[in-house]
Amino acid sequence: MSVTYCIISIYRSPTRKILYFISALDSVLNKLHSTSTNLILCGDLNIKYLSNINSKTQLDSLLTTYGLYNIIDFPTRIDYKSATAIDCIFIDKCKISNYSIIPVVNGLSDHDAQLLLLNNFTSQVLKGQYYFKRQINRMNIENFNFKLSYETWDDVFTDGDVDNMFNSFLNTYLRVFNGSFPLRKIFHNYDNKVWLTAGIRILCQHKRTLHMLCRSIESPTLLAYYKKYSKILREVMKAAKRIYYNKLIVNSDNKSKTIWNIVNNETGKYNNNNNHDPPPLTKDGKKINNGLHIANAFNVYFSTIMDNRSNGPHINSGSNVSKDKFSHYLTTVTIGPMSEFKHVPVTSKEMKDIIKSLKNKNSFGFDEISSKVLKSSMPYILSPLIYIRM
């Protein structure tokens, strides 16, 4: 049986009048409350729940109508002067009976966190997400070129049909490519703080210890030391992050892409989705997910779009020819002789210049062959390519 949980996080300003806050909260709960949904209300209410005050009674009266009760019975904000519970969690104890709540000192502020454990809660465990990536490095590239150097390309040189020649060349090239660059399973790494070393983690733990001391002891000297320690720790963390990112940029083959990845990562815009599959295409009410089928659908559409038009373009308004077939229409209205198309064989130098003009990038298309790999294999594929182009 599936259960829906709705977690509502709220904050009430200390200067906000309690009646306005209760009225707004009542409107929200009225929209979200249902018998099939378990509501969990939490947040900083700025209401001292360890004391019997009027604002607490008013809020409890509202929440009781929705079956919500506070489960925080310990201080959540502690300093050397006072201990109050202004951070609360409200649940329906009839629907959620098997739970436990414990305080968590985060060392970041004077408010402690609360950890709510639902012991009878079951959810689908997501398996580790991964993607496949080819191992393209210097050693594999040398192995790839070594294997290509032993290819004789007999199927290319012995066939007279251009299409068969090219298909034979491509099949051979892809066979050697797939064998030289095996696919490797890469798991997504959601830890964006790789620069956070073991030493920095120890310093952060010491900072949390100092934070606890400052909360329990009223000492200006200790407080000044804590602030100075925190400032130094921030500088150390910035320096560690700067060194890590500088190393990434220096060792990167594509520095612009690496810099943009760092910017997106720091601004929270980094997308961990490395799936290269295109988005689905809807055709005739059906969704197409296969990349090859999507490409074929586009090819068929654009190659037949003019034949499917009811009326062709009006180049010659006085022509009476049928415009159902665009190709026939063009040959009919064309005035004057057609220009000749001369096939000029390509030379080895021209082929080299074309391949060398490609930018040295690791990006690739549907065949997974990047321009970087193609340029490295140029000496071993010139002969069959020139023969196909003759």
Q: For the chain, which domains are there? A: 4-118 (3.60.10.10), 130-187+343-389 (no CATH), 198-266 (no CATH)
DSSP 117-163: EETT---PPPPPPEEEEE---HHHHHHHHHHHHT---HHHHS---HH
**Other beta carbons less than 10 A from residue 325's beta carbon:** 14
What distance in Å separates the CA atoms of residue 39 and residue 5, rounded to the nearest whole number?
A: 6
Of 43, 87, 83, 41, nearest to 65 (Cα)?
A: 41
What tokens does 10 get? 């709220």
**Other beta carbons less than 10 A from residue 100's beta carbon:** 10
DSSP 91-102: E-TTT--SEEEE
Give pLDDT tens digits along the chain (390 positions): 567 889 999 999 888 888 999 999 999 998 888 888 889 999 999 998 988 899 999 999 999 988 899 999 888 888 777 888 889 999 998 888 888 898 888 777 778 888 999 887 665 555 557 778 888 888 999 999 999 999 999 888 888 888 889 999 999 999 999 999 988 888 766 566 788 888 888 888 888 888 888 877 888 898 899 899 999 999 999 999 999 999 989 988 788 888 988 888 778 765 545 455 678 888 888 888 888 888 888 888 888 876 665 444 444 444 444 445 666 666 666 666 666 777 777 888 888 999 999 988 888 888 889 999 999 999 999 999 888 877
What distance in Å separates the CA atoms of residue 386 and residue 390, rounded to the nearest whole number?
A: 6
Read off the DSSP letter of residue 15.
Answer: T
What distance in Å separates the CA atoms of residue 300 and residue 389, rounded to the nearest whole number?
A: 26
Of 54, 64, 80, nearest to 26 (Cα)?
A: 64
pTM (predicted TM-score): 0.44
What distance in Å separates the CA atoms of residue 85 and residue 72, rounded to the nearest whole number?
A: 8
CA angle (150, 152, 153) in 5-degree steps: 130
What distance in Å separates the CA atoms of residue 172 and residue 181, rounded to the nearest whole number?
A: 14
**Other beta carbons less than 10 A from residue 389's beta carbon:** 16
Compute φ and ψ for 142, nearest 5 degrees. -65, -40
What distance in Å separates the CA atoms of residue 240 and residue 260, rounded to the nearest whole number?
A: 19
* Cα of 250 vs its chain's centroid, Å: 24
